[in-house]
Amino acid sequence: MSTIRQLVVPAKHDQLAQIASFVAHGAEEAGFEEGLVNRIELAVDEACSNIIDHAYEGTMGFIQLEVTVEVRGSLKIILIDQGHSFDPNEVPVYKPCQTLDNARIGGLGLHLMRQAMDDICFEFNVPGLGNRLTMVKYL
Protein backbone atom coordinates (compact mmCIF):
# COMPACT_ATOMS: atom_id res chain seq x y z
CA MET A 1 0.00 0.00 0.00
CA SER A 2 1.32 3.41 -0.89
CA THR A 3 0.66 6.90 0.40
CA ILE A 4 0.91 9.96 -1.82
CA ARG A 5 1.40 13.48 -0.49
CA GLN A 6 1.70 16.73 -2.39
CA LEU A 7 3.15 20.14 -1.60
CA VAL A 8 3.33 23.28 -3.73
CA VAL A 9 5.72 26.03 -2.68
CA PRO A 10 7.07 29.23 -4.21
CA ALA A 11 10.43 28.66 -5.89
CA LYS A 12 12.43 30.51 -3.26
CA HIS A 13 15.40 29.55 -1.15
CA ASP A 14 13.52 30.30 2.05
CA GLN A 15 11.22 27.36 1.23
CA LEU A 16 14.05 24.78 1.28
CA ALA A 17 13.66 23.96 4.97
CA GLN A 18 9.94 23.31 4.55
CA ILE A 19 10.61 21.14 1.51
CA ALA A 20 13.25 19.19 3.44
CA SER A 21 10.87 18.62 6.34
CA PHE A 22 8.13 17.43 3.98
CA VAL A 23 10.47 14.97 2.28
CA ALA A 24 12.10 13.79 5.51
CA HIS A 25 8.69 12.94 6.94
CA GLY A 26 8.00 10.69 3.95
CA ALA A 27 11.43 9.08 4.10
CA GLU A 28 11.04 8.27 7.79
CA GLU A 29 7.59 6.84 7.15
CA ALA A 30 9.00 4.62 4.42
CA GLY A 31 11.48 3.24 6.98
CA PHE A 32 14.78 4.85 6.00
CA GLU A 33 17.34 5.31 8.77
CA GLU A 34 18.61 8.78 9.68
CA GLY A 35 21.67 8.80 7.43
CA LEU A 36 19.63 7.91 4.36
CA VAL A 37 16.91 10.39 5.28
CA ASN A 38 19.63 13.05 5.23
CA ARG A 39 20.80 11.90 1.80
CA ILE A 40 17.24 11.98 0.42
CA GLU A 41 16.76 15.50 1.84
CA LEU A 42 20.03 16.47 0.20
CA ALA A 43 18.99 15.19 -3.23
CA VAL A 44 15.71 17.11 -3.11
CA ASP A 45 17.40 20.23 -1.74
CA GLU A 46 19.93 20.20 -4.59
CA ALA A 47 17.22 19.62 -7.18
CA CYS A 48 15.07 22.45 -5.82
CA SER A 49 18.05 24.81 -5.57
CA ASN A 50 18.78 24.10 -9.23
CA ILE A 51 15.15 24.84 -10.14
CA ILE A 52 15.22 28.12 -8.21
CA ASP A 53 18.61 29.27 -9.50
CA HIS A 54 18.64 27.92 -13.04
CA ALA A 55 15.11 26.99 -14.17
CA TYR A 56 13.40 30.10 -12.80
CA GLU A 57 16.60 32.17 -12.58
CA GLY A 58 15.24 34.02 -9.57
CA THR A 59 11.91 34.92 -11.20
CA MET A 60 8.54 34.05 -9.66
CA GLY A 61 7.47 30.44 -10.03
CA PHE A 62 6.37 27.37 -8.14
CA ILE A 63 7.69 23.92 -7.35
CA GLN A 64 5.22 21.07 -7.03
CA LEU A 65 6.36 18.08 -5.00
CA GLU A 66 4.75 14.67 -4.91
CA VAL A 67 6.07 12.07 -2.48
CA THR A 68 4.97 8.46 -2.77
CA VAL A 69 5.74 6.29 0.24
CA GLU A 70 5.84 2.53 -0.03
CA VAL A 71 6.34 1.46 3.58
CA ARG A 72 9.35 -0.83 3.85
CA GLY A 73 9.73 -0.53 0.10
CA SER A 74 10.70 2.75 -1.52
CA LEU A 75 10.27 6.48 -1.70
CA LYS A 76 9.45 8.19 -4.99
CA ILE A 77 9.75 11.96 -5.26
CA ILE A 78 8.46 13.93 -8.23
CA LEU A 79 9.36 17.60 -8.69
CA ILE A 80 7.52 19.68 -11.28
CA ASP A 81 8.37 23.21 -12.38
CA GLN A 82 7.56 25.51 -15.29
CA GLY A 83 10.99 27.11 -15.60
CA HIS A 84 13.64 26.83 -18.28
CA SER A 85 14.71 23.34 -19.27
CA PHE A 86 18.32 22.23 -19.39
CA ASP A 87 20.36 19.35 -20.73
CA PRO A 88 21.77 17.30 -17.84
CA ASN A 89 24.36 15.90 -20.22
CA GLU A 90 25.84 19.38 -20.63
CA VAL A 91 26.38 19.81 -16.89
CA PRO A 92 30.06 19.20 -16.12
CA VAL A 93 30.56 15.80 -14.53
CA TYR A 94 31.90 16.33 -11.04
CA LYS A 95 34.95 14.25 -10.26
CA PRO A 96 36.18 14.11 -6.68
CA CYS A 97 39.75 15.44 -6.60
CA GLN A 98 42.67 14.80 -4.33
CA THR A 99 44.09 18.30 -4.49
CA LEU A 100 42.60 21.70 -3.92
CA ASP A 101 44.13 23.11 -7.08
CA ASN A 102 42.13 20.94 -9.43
CA ALA A 103 38.95 20.64 -7.38
CA ARG A 104 36.01 21.73 -9.55
CA ILE A 105 32.81 23.04 -8.11
CA GLY A 106 30.60 22.68 -11.20
CA GLY A 107 28.21 19.77 -11.22
CA LEU A 108 28.40 19.29 -7.46
CA GLY A 109 24.63 19.37 -6.93
CA LEU A 110 23.85 16.88 -9.70
CA HIS A 111 26.62 14.62 -8.44
CA LEU A 112 25.12 14.62 -4.94
CA MET A 113 21.65 13.86 -6.33
CA ARG A 114 22.99 10.87 -8.27
CA GLN A 115 24.98 9.65 -5.29
CA ALA A 116 22.03 9.95 -2.93
CA MET A 117 19.26 8.38 -5.03
CA ASP A 118 18.92 5.06 -6.85
CA ASP A 119 17.00 6.31 -9.91
CA ILE A 120 16.85 9.78 -11.42
CA CYS A 121 14.84 10.70 -14.51
CA PHE A 122 14.63 14.18 -16.06
CA GLU A 123 11.80 15.04 -18.45
CA PHE A 124 11.51 18.50 -19.95
CA ASN A 125 8.65 20.45 -21.49
CA VAL A 126 6.08 17.74 -20.76
CA PRO A 127 2.83 19.00 -22.38
CA GLY A 128 0.50 20.57 -19.83
CA LEU A 129 3.00 20.03 -17.03
CA GLY A 130 6.43 21.57 -17.54
CA ASN A 131 9.63 19.96 -16.35
CA ARG A 132 9.41 16.78 -14.30
CA LEU A 133 12.15 15.20 -12.24
CA THR A 134 11.49 11.75 -10.77
CA MET A 135 13.81 10.38 -8.10
CA VAL A 136 13.48 7.02 -6.37
CA LYS A 137 15.23 5.53 -3.37
CA TYR A 138 14.76 1.87 -2.50
CA LEU A 139 14.99 0.55 1.03
d(CA 13, CA 61): 12
Cβ–Cβ < 8 Å for 53, 103: no
| Closest distance to another protein from the beta carbon of 114 (Å) | 10
What is the side-by-side order of every strand in the sheet holding 2-10?
2-10, 62-70, 74-81, 130-138, 119-126
Q: Which is nearer to another protein, 16 or 120 (CB)?
A: 16
How many residues sit close enough to another protein to count as binding (CB under 8 A)? 32
37-96 residues near another protein, rule: CB under 8 A: 38-39, 41-42, 45-46, 49, 52-53, 94, 96
d(CA 106, CA 83): 21
Binding site for another protein (CB under 8 A): 13-14, 16-18, 20-21, 34-35, 38-39, 41-42, 45-46, 49, 52-53, 94, 96-100, 103, 105, 108-109, 111-112, 115-116
